[in-house]
Amino acid sequence: MTEGSPETQGAVHCIIHGRVQGVGFRYATMQEASRRGIVGWVKNRWDGTVEVYAEGSMAALTSFLRWLEKGPPGARVERIEAGWQKPSGAYRRFSIEY
């Protein structure tokens, strides 16, 4: 996880709805998260949504959520379910899960 005091660190769990599979969403999400110093994972779900768990600074997570609202070119995000959590500290990088 990125450096900072516990108060400035957070985690968010998201389910992204829309045209988000088959458009490079997971790979682009991994690149965006890594660029922002965010750790966690992204994966496709059976129902056509994409699930994201991310930990990092609150500033990085906020800008990451703004990016997720649009996604990569070709995606059409309809809505995001997002829940804030305490970071687990269990992740060292951002990865695509299968």
Catalytic residue among 19, 26, 35, 45: 26
The residue with tokens 């829309």 is 18
Look up 26 and say whether it is catalytic.
yes
Catalytic residue among 44, 45, 76, 92: 44
Query: Facing residues of 19 across strands?
Result: 76
Please say whether the beta carbons of 40 and 55 come within 8 A.
yes
Q: How many residues does the chain have?
A: 98
Q: Exposed (0-12), middle (13-18) or buried (19+): which is 11, by Cβ within 10 Å?
A: buried
Look up 44 and say whether it is catalytic.
yes
- Residue numbers annotated as active site: 26, 44
